Amino acid sequence: MKTNIKLFAVAVIALVATVYTANAEIKPYKELDSKEVVMNYVGASLLENANYTKEMFTEDFEYSNTSNKEKFGKKEYVKHLKSLKNLKYNATQSFEIMDQVGNTAVGKVIMNFDNFTRVDYITLSQTTEGWKISKVVTTYP
């Protein structure tokens, strides 16, 4: 009888845990600081790591490229990053958080390729879901 009760208790606990996990919202950036979010951006843009790309950006995200005057919203840019999934760029990268005041931070990512350098200036906002990227401006100095 004790074995049946223990078995039943384990089954109930497992069922509750499974239901809770299945219904839990995924908020991968909730506990990350601004520097870790920029590291994830580098991973998505250079190192074919496109996990949780959609959650990395605010809903009003804007990407702009100063060399060709292109601008994209969140949907187009996430699609672009996901298209890079099987590509691995041969570039060295460095990044820093240039300034952080209150709920806003500005980061800089430098990507050195063989023939050119790309610099992304990243604006981050702290939301209820953690730090998110609200704007990326790409330059080629």
Q: What's the pLDDT score for residue 108?
A: 96
Q: What's the pLDDT score for residue 103?
A: 94
CA distance 52 to 122: 18
pLDDT tens figures, 13-63: 444 444 444 444 556 667 788 888 888 888 887 766 656 677 889 999 999
Please answer whether residues 53 and 44 qualify as being in contact, where contact means their C-beta atoms are separated by less than 8 angstroms.
yes
Closest CA to 54 of 139, 137, 141, 129: 129
Q: What's the pLDDT score for residue 85?
A: 73
Q: Is the domain covering 2-139 a CATH 3.30.390.30 domain? A: no
Q: What's the pLDDT score for residue 48?
A: 62
Residue percentage of the chain with pLDDT more than 70? 75
CA distance 119 to 128: 28
Please answer whether residues 117 and 72 qualify as being in contact, where contact means their C-beta atoms are separated by less than 8 angstroms.
no
Tell me what the pLDDT averaged over the chain comes to: 80
Which residue has better confidence, 16 or 84?
84
Strand ordering across the sheet containing 117-127? 70-73, 57-65, 130-139, 117-127, 104-112, 92-101
User: Does the pLDDT value for residue 80 go beyond 90?
Assistant: no
Domain boundaries, the chain: 2-139
User: Does the pLDDT value for residue 115 go beyond 80?
Assistant: yes
pTM score of the predicted model: 0.76
